[in-house]
Amino acid sequence: MEPNLLCLSTSRHNVEGKPGNAVTNCLSSRRQRINDRPAVKRGCAVPSESQIVNKRYQERLEEEPDFKKKEEELAEIGKKAKEQYGYKYSSP
């Protein structure tokens, strides 16, 4: 069985250990393995380390209270817009 399929069939929690979607967990694990590769690290650091990659984004949420507050405000605006327009996500 291909490793990715095994991951999909056996996982019930996301990377943080919280109950989650097995597909999300598998993709998060794959993304982490890719980001851990030395060549990928060097390529992502040109000309300087990006501030919008997932790892740095999570660090900024923990380290910078103003950044976290702004992200929470944006999430609230998005939530209100979804309610206002009756948005429901549906997979194609």
Q: Is residue 28 within 8 Å of residue 34, measured between CB atoms?
A: no
Alpha carbon 61 to its chain centroid, in Å, reads 12
Compute the Cα dihedral for 57, 59, 60, 62 and give only its sign.
Answer: positive
pTM greater than 0.75 (yes/no): no
Please give the Cα distance from 24 to 41 (Å, whole number).
Answer: 22
For 10-75, list the strands marked E by DSSP.
none
pLDDT in tens, the chain (92 residues): 334 433 333 444 444 445 567 777 888 888 889 889 999 888 877 887 777 778 888 888 999 999 999 999 999 999 999 999 999 888 87
